[in-house]
Chains A and B, each alone.
Chain A
Amino acid sequence: MSDDSLPLALPLLRLASGSSEVTTLYRELRKPLLRYLVCLGLSSDEAQDVVQDAFLSLQRHLALDGTQENIRAWLFRVAHNQARNRQSSYHRRFSEPLESQMDFLADDATPEQRVLEKEKFRRLAAAIRLLTESERECLLLRAGGLRYREIGEVLGMAVSTVGDTVERAIKKLAEKCNV
């Protein structure tokens, strides 16, 4: 997990004073947010909309002299909530089998390697579907580079609970996938 992307506490007064800070934030966080939302089950278009809405909300929040210690966690939380509101068929789409979408894996690999890769991801997808919702979300946010404290802020969980959940999820996946 990388901890080099953003400082945890960004000074909001500086953010409010110029939009260039928000632009920098947008450049840095757009891709992780999109990745999180798409993996959460949104379509690419929906994810783009939610990211834009989240940054608009940030602008409004700052314009109203709103304060927030951790902008990254705040943005992920806003995006997460908006995604939940939009996604009526969240569970169905999240658990949609992805095997059919992985035909393009490792184009330069040998057929044997492709089969093995595909099988590995098929097992992982099946194992991820068996995780609880909070375990999946913790893993997704962890993969997005968030610290346990930030994950806790996004999902409304204690830091220790996040640690336990991540550990449980990884152990389950290691057991099921035999990677």
Chain B
Amino acid sequence: MRCWDPRIEEMPVSELKRLQFKLLKTLIYRVYSFSTFYHTRMKEAGVHPDDINSLEDITKLPFMHKKDLRDTYPDGMIMSEQEELVRYHVSSGTTGKSTVVGYTKNDIYHWQESLARALTSAGLGRGDVIQVSYGYGLFTGGLGLHYGAERIGATVLPTSVGNTERQIELMQDLKVTAIACTPSYLLHIGEVAEKMGVSIKDDTILRKAIVGAEPWSEQMRIRIKESLGVDAYDIYGTSELSGPLFCECEFQQGFHVWSDLIYPEILDPETQEPLPPGERGELVVTMLQKEGLPIIRYRTGDVTALREEPCPCGRTHPRLERLSGRVDDMLIVRGINVFPSQIEHALLGIPEVAEHFMIELDRKGALDEMLVKVELAKEAFSDKISDLMRTRRHVEKVLKSALNVQVSVELTEPGTLPRFEGKAKRVIDRRRI
């Protein structure tokens, strides 16, 4: 099947915009009338629903942050009465207090519809056997994918996480064609399978993977294809927005965001000014039809760019590019936003250096100086100084074109830069501003 819901997925852009405005206007009236949280915030900001007369007027509304959800724990921001809610999900409190999301029947319906469209766009449907290896329970990944996959008529194998050997046995026995899991778990499955003497490529019919919930890269996509013979599709969503919602279509150039469900803005994280399509900034989300927990101008902290040009798949909804880091990691060097993840991506394409790096920032006079330390790969070592200088200049050139800012590179000996487990601290900022 080409589209799950062709009427909406192929709707002309102008009609979609009209629909979005209608939904936005309704939403703002509703939260102003029924949500204590949003009513108070709008009063404080001096905005009335009557002030919202175009989609662009959304910028008059105040932002909402993850902190607001924590501060109103457990249910201060939930607008529906408890008896209207059919489910709760709770996000883990690793960086602070937990946050609770309540879903009405309609919320669950829209969540499933969003994923049904997304999974169909990735080429899945009736006849597929989809192994859901995301955690089931309070986390939205497992149950989200589960109901999305059931809706398109696929056969769901709800393995959840863990017991990898059994997962691999079941994958073979029940002829699984697609898996939904984190990219690192997918590679782990490949390694465990190898130890069991099972080749995912030759001994299973697994061909597609819907992967997300953690950062990954194009290089990982290639590695997954080469080692497992599996096409990996990026998926995006967070519990505040419902859960996993959008995944890439078969063209794999960003994920379609359904305009009837979401209004995305890309803002400069410093100035909060809107950025034009194609430029990377912070994703700020308004969920147009959510009832239980309304989400208006939510600062996701995720960095991406919006692409409005038509997709070859024929869907008229815009796409978001693969996430390239978190706003908290952003550096401003000579007025330009730089994300450490951009450096990581660029280095992966240069065989002369390893993937480890450190960034050091200094200020000389009025100008920022950015130094990137990289490890020289063993194979790239030449006895000739001129070869080494050429390697260094090459890395500088690649980084400059990736970041749009002047970079000095220092070559270091292999194994000398710090290795990180968990959150990496790759920046030393010595600027006194």
Q: Do A and B form a real pair?
A: no
